[in-house]
Structures are given as structure tokens and as C-alpha cells.
Structure 1
Amino acid sequence: MVKQLTIISGKGGTGKTTVSSVFVSLAENAVIADCDVDAADMHLIMSPEIIEKKDFYGLKVASIDRELCTFCSSCRGSCRFGAIDDDFQVDVYGCEGCAVCEYVCPFDAVTMVDRKAGEVFISMTRFGPMAHAKLGIGEEASGKLVSVVRNTARDLALKHDKDAIIIDGPPGTGCSVIAAITGVDLVLVVSEPTLSGVHDLERVLEVVKHFRIPVLVCINKSNVNEKNTRMIQDYCMAQEIEVVGVLPYDRTPTAAMVEGKTVTEYVDNNFSSGICSMWERVREYLFAERNSCGVDLINS
């Protein structure tokens, strides 16, 4: 059975991709899935060779057949988003796909059509296969695209006989995060010791708890504010959540990304060693045995 690990955070810039890239390099037999589709950056480290590309279609948008249209304005008057202009042209960025214009048109001149909203890629990297995507500018349906990336990664894992999928998830608590964590075996939340970071950690842990998924926490940039670091540690202890990594602020991730490398490829120092040690603990959790009821023996 393929195990799935998702790395998320309450906000962007906490170090998810840094951690994810090292994990996939150490896992040896894993598929990487970059599910931060709104701002994908795993390719900067992995330098993937694209093997296959597929178009992604999100929400349907209205299309007006001008040969059938009598310009009666029924569609314009009914569109609450103002997506149909005076020339009866549809603004594809303003259209929300509600289809009310199609419903009210007395001449069947309006139809809902698919519109390309992004692209999904299957690639090979020096660490194995990778599923990733690019959402178009101003597009919605990021949660749907995350699901497509995860399904693609699952197919790659089965095809290449991999035993794990490591998912670099999106930040926040929205639908794309829910799509990235639903049904996985383990979630790792990367946090940082700022006041907003503490607040965001609490919010994202509530989301994970709602879906009853085992969860671990990593505190990055821990020496930026040691008081807040202790606050996070105390909070996690009260919630019976293990903090598996406490990493200091370090310039290594930035320098490594500039070179297109993981931090462990770039240099052997305390920071990279800390992520390696964290992976050993995460791997134990990820491949932990389940009890007779099928429940993980951690955080249950």
C-alpha cells in the first residue's frame, strides 16, 4: 500500500518546499507531488524533465452564439456578476459559471463550455517521478486541480512501484488544503514562531483534526523568537501532538534553491542534519503499524 504524507503550513514562506524536497531525496522510493498549484516552486529545486502535459479545465464559462442571439438582454439582466458587456461578449474572468444566462435565454443562444484553466505535468527528476501543475492567472478551482495532481501522483506510484507519495501542499486552510490532506496517512505542519504563525498553526491543526488525520509539527526559524517557539511547543504538548523538528533560521535553503539543489545536496551542516533527523522520525510515523480497528497508533 502506498503511504501518503502531506506537508502544509498555516501561511506561505514557512519552509514547506525546503522540507518536502529533502524528504523526497531521502525517501529513495517515493513520488513527489507539488500541490501548491497557485504558487508552485518545487520545480526550482527538482529541475523536472516534463514527459507528459495535459490541459486542465476548471469551471465552465458562458459562450454566446451570435447567430442565434437576438440581443434581447435577458442574459445581461440576469448576470449578477456583470460578465456580459454591452456588445454581448462574455468576460471569461468575470463569469462564475452559474449558468443562469443559459437558463434564461429564450433562443438557446447561450451554452456553457469548458475553458482551459491550467496544465498538469508528469515529469522525471533525479529523485524519481513527479506530478505537478500550473494554475492559470486569475483562475479558480485550485482544489480540483490539487485533486488531479494527487490522482496523477497515485497512478505514478502504482506504475513505478513506489511505496510513498510526498505531497508539497498549499498554505492556509482553504479548499486546496483540504484537497491536499484528505485521505492521506500523515500530515506534517511546518510553522514559524511569529504571532501570526502561532495563530495560523492553531487554525490549520483544527482542519487536520476535523479529518482525523495523524499530524506532526515542525518549527522552522525557531531562534527568531524563542518565546513563541516555546509557546508552540507547549500548545502541541497540550494537544498531544509531537514536535518532530526544531530548525534554526538559516540562509542555507535560499542558497540551495539558487543552485537548484536540496539543502542536503548543497551542504552538510546543522540545518540539513536537522531535517535528516526529522525525516527519520516522520518515516517511523508514516509507516507505523495500524491497530486491529485500522486506526493509526499515533495521535488517536
Structure 2
Amino acid sequence: MIRLAVVSGKGGTGKTMVAAALADISGVPQVLADCDVDAANLELLFEPRRLTTEEFRGLEAARIDPERCRNCGICADHCRFGAIVRNDAWEAEALHCEGCGVCTYVCPMGAIRMELRVCGEIYTSATDRGNLAHARLFPGSGNSGLLVTEVKKRAMNLAGGADLLLADGPPGIGCPLIATIGGMDAVLIVTEPGVSALHDLARLVTVCRRFGVRIFVAINRFDLAEDICARIEDYCRKEEIPVAGKIPFDPQVIEAVRGGRPVTRSESPATDALRALRDSLFSELGLR
């Protein structure tokens, strides 16, 4: 099975649009994963039918046992994050707690313990283009990289005899991105003709190369600034990175997203370019 992640150096490049299009026209047995757990949007384009829902427990947070607490306030004095507050009794606010455990160490009564807190939910769903593993990280919660890893595990469990694992990854170069590309065979970086996009593309390439994955690039809305598009192509040529496709600006993309469907379900210049991208990329990956 080929494991492919669609990623981007910055938000707003059209990464999820491209991932959804590839999933829609792949033509091979596949399993899907939405690894952009901070803003999981792939499901919006495929009308998934929920199969399972489970809690995700990530970062530990302090919990004060009111029966054992003697209201000395030592824990609050030592909490550098201001997470321990006095209401009717001393309480640890989960959103402010960083899980350091200092309060458990200094409490003379042993009234505080660290507990894994619910940080989100993990889902598996069925779509007309294969099974989908996805998740939602609750606002203010951490450990998004760990949640991405759990999503990938669910996707592998759903894979069966699939020829392709297609993951919609997060933007940027942080922990969620690293968790996404670890263990992948290839990444498709979606960029756009902008100065900041070129800068972030170079940063992302540096990170991806440390994981030994094959790197391909797709340039979305390439015709909006053809001079910068040429600079991106020059960069890819120097770095020996194949440009698998160039997608023109197309109002049909906006209409498709508004309608909650992949753009490839209607004929348009963008659809033609995405089909060419699919053929070029899959040929390089040995998929038919």
C-alpha cells in the first residue's frame, strides 16, 4: 500500500481541495485520513456516515480531591501557570493546567492527582470513496500530534486490501505535520504563487527530507502570479522536486466547496488540471 500525505507550508493554499479531488478520482481501493485535526474539513466534501466515535485523552491535568484538601493554598503558590483557583474550594482549571505535576509534589495532604483529560474525539466513517478516519481536537487542548498518530492508526485498521492511504495533512511544519508524514511513502505539497508560500514551501521541504519521503509539488492558482509561479518552478528544479501539476484559478472550485462536494464532480479547467495531476503523481508512485 502506498501512503501519501497532502500537505502545505501555509494555510489557504487549497490543500484539502486537492486531497478531496485525488480521493474522488483515484480509481484505486483506498482509505482516507484527515490528519488536520485542528480544522478537519475533509468530511465536509464526502457526506460520511459515522461508524464509531471514541474519546481522545491526551494531556494530563491536575484534579484536586476536595475531601482531602485542607485549603492551605500551597499548590496555588507554586503553580506558575495560574491554573489553581479558589472558588467554593480550590480547583485546577484544565484549560490553564500544563500538566507539569508540581502541585502533586508540593501538596502536603496528597490531595492532588494527575488525570488524563478528554481533549477531543476520534471518528471512523464510511464514504462513497472509501473509509475515513478523522478527529476533532477540542478548543484549547494540546497534543494534536498524538491525536494525528491515533487517526493514522485508525486508518490503517480500516485499510483492508487498500492500495492507497491518502491523508489530508495539516499546514505548517509543527508537531501535527511531523506526526502526519512519519511513516509515509510520499508527500504532495500544495503551494500557491505567493512570496510567503514560496518561503514556507522551502521550510516544509527541509522538514520532509529528514523523513526520507518522496516529495512532489502541486501549484494551485498558478495563473494569478505567473512570475512567482516561475520562481517556484525554478526552486523545485534546483531542488530536484517534481512539479506534479499546476491548477488554474477556477470559480468552479469555490462553487464546489460551497456545495460540499469535490470539484472533480463537475467539468471545469481545475478538474482537467487535477486529473492530469492525478495521472502524473500516480504514475510516479506506481499506482494505476
1:90: which partner in 2? 92
Structure 1 residue 234 corresponds to structure 2 residue 228: no
**CA distance in 1: counterparts of 2:274 and 2:193, whole angstroms:** 17
Mapping of residues 101-112 of structure 1, within 5 Å: 101-112=103-114
1:142: which partner in 2? 144
1:181: which partner in 2? 181
1:250: which partner in 2? 250
**CA distance in 2: counterparts of 1:66 and 1:98, whole angstroms:** 20
1:287: which partner in 2? 286
1:192: which partner in 2? 192
Mapping of residues 107-118 of structure 1, within 5 Å: 107-118=109-120
How far 1:284 sits from its partner (Å)? 2.0
**CA distance in 2: counterparts of 1:86 and 1:123, whole angstroms:** 43
**CA distance in 2: counterparts of 1:251 and 1:206, whole angstroms:** 33
How far 1:269 sits from its partner (Å)? 2.0
2:3: which partner in 1? 4
Mapping of residues 208-219 of structure 1, within 5 Å: 208-219=208-219
The equivalent position to 1:119 in structure 2, one of 121, 126, 136, is 121
Q: Is the 8 A contact 1:5 1:286 kept in 2?
A: no
* Stretch moving more, 194-203 or 67-76: 67-76
**CA distance in 2: counterparts of 1:81 and 1:34, whole angstroms:** 32
Question: TM-score, normalized by length of structure 1?
Answer: 0.92
**CA distance in 2: counterparts of 1:284 and 1:139, whole angstroms:** 40
**CA distance in 2: counterparts of 1:69 and 1:284, whole angstroms:** 65
**CA distance in 1: counterparts of 2:228 and 2:54, whole angstroms:** 44
Q: Give 3-state SS (helix, strand or coil) of 1:106's partner.
A: coil
**CA distance in 2: counterparts of 1:84 and 1:192, whole angstroms:** 45
How far 1:286 sits from its partner (Å)? 2.4
Q: Give 3-state SS (helix, strand or coil) of 1:273's partner.
A: helix
Flag structure 2 segments of 5+ consecutive residues without an equivalent. Answer: none
How far 1:259 sits from its partner (Å)? 1.8
Q: CA deviation digits over 1:215-236, x for unaligned, max 9?
A: 0001111111111100000000
Q: Give 3-state SS (helix, strand or coil) of 2:272's partner.
A: helix
Q: Is the 8 A contact 2:236 2:243 kept in 1?
A: yes
**CA distance in 2: counterparts of 1:183 and 1:128, whole angstroms:** 21
Q: CA deviation digits over 1:119-140, x for unaligned, max 9?
A: 0110001111000001101111
Question: TM-score, normalized by length of structure 2?
Answer: 0.96
Aligned length: 284
Q: CA deviation digits over 1:138-158, x for unaligned, max 9?
A: 111110110000110011003
1:23: which partner in 2? 22
1:61: which partner in 2? 61
Q: Is the 8 A contact 2:23 2:129 kept in 1?
A: yes
**CA distance in 2: counterparts of 1:259 and 1:130, whole angstroms:** 20
**CA distance in 2: counterparts of 1:171 and 1:193, whole angstroms:** 16
Q: CA deviation digits over 1:154-200, x for unaligned, max 9?
A: 11003xx2111100000000000000001100000000111111111
2:273: which partner in 1? 274
Structure 1 residue 171 corresponds to structure 2 residue 167: no
**CA distance in 2: counterparts of 1:70 and 1:198, whole angstroms:** 58
1:78: which partner in 2? 78
Amino acid at match of 2:63: S
Q: Is the 8 A contact 2:250 2:269 kept in 1?
A: no
Q: Give 3-state SS (helix, strand or coil) of 2:264's partner.
A: helix
Q: Give 3-state SS (helix, strand or coil) of 2:85's partner.
A: coil
Q: Is the 8 A contact 2:169 2:180 kept in 1?
A: yes
Amino acid at match of 1:13: G
**CA distance in 1: counterparts of 2:146 and 2:157, whole angstroms:** 17
1:207: which partner in 2? 207
Q: Give 3-state SS (helix, strand or coil) of 2:91's partner.
A: coil
How far 1:71 sits from its partner (Å)? 1.7
How far 1:282 sits from its partner (Å)? 1.2
**CA distance in 2: counterparts of 1:6 and 1:166, whole angstroms:** 6
Amino acid at match of 1:257: V
